[in-house]
Amino acid sequence: MASLFFGPDGSPLSKPTDVIPFLGKQEKHWNRERSAYQAAHSWFLADGLPLAIRKIIKTDPAFDKSVLKKVVFEKKTKLDSFGRESQTDVVVLLKMPTGNAVLGIEAKVDESFGPLVSEWNDYSPGKLRRLAGLLDRLSVKSKSIGSLRYQLFHRTVATLIEAESAGATEAAMIVQSFDKNRAGFTDFTAFASAFGTPILEIGKLSQPKTIGRVTIRLGWTENPMQYAED
């Protein structure tokens, strides 16, 4: 049976631990209580879309009759020439009757979404250009973004770019949370509101926003911790 799971270099993956070489700090990031471990196990144990991911995409009719075609772990997406790539935990390609769709999955246990924009932005020329580019890509007009998490901006842009690369017209950036206390949920909903796609319900995709040829949504899912043997 052909593999559904791949590394960012295109190599097929057969088990959760195959993800380790592609992590930023490899073995140091492979911790049973952290998102890389949890995400990899949830996808491999499901042998496809984990239950919470299947359920959330069914809340939007645009994803009706979608079929899973490919799952890429730790996918790096070049955003511009002013900073490093955005590394998405899981990028998913779906095939639909109307074409392709892409899901960008950001896995979290109790990790944060990184620094606030106000903390990240040191007003250097490169960061100012990158931030302006991200806001333009997302069609975010508000300049009151200092209290929002920078990671959410570039992960959402990465999802858009991956959708464009796949010729997809539908996309979603989804948080796959493994934390019962919903760490980061307030930050996520604040970003969603600024983006113009407020999260009204956990487990349900937001209203869509069309940017160029891609229509994108945001969503938050709750997932059980996985402790399967490697």
Residue 222's pLDDT band (cuts 50, 70, 90):
very high
- Sign of the Cα pseudo-torsion (87, 21, 28, 38, in order): positive
Q: Is residue 68 part of a domain?
A: yes
Q: Is residue 228 part of a domain?
A: no
| pLDDT tens figures, 110-130 | 999 999 999 999 999 999 999
pTM of the model: 0.95
Q: Is residue 71 part of a domain?
A: yes
Give yes or no for residue 229 having a pLDDT over 70. no
DSSP E strands, the chain: 5-6, 67-77, 86-96, 99-108, 168-177, 209-211, 214-222
CA 16, 19, 21: angle at the middle one, nearest 5?
140
Whole-number mean pLDDT of the chain?
Answer: 94
Contact assessment for residue 153 and residue 139, using Cβ atoms and an 8 Å cutoff: no
Domain span at 141? 5-222
How many folded domains does the chain comprise? 1
Q: Is residue 50 part of a domain?
A: yes
Q: Is residue 230 part of a domain?
A: no
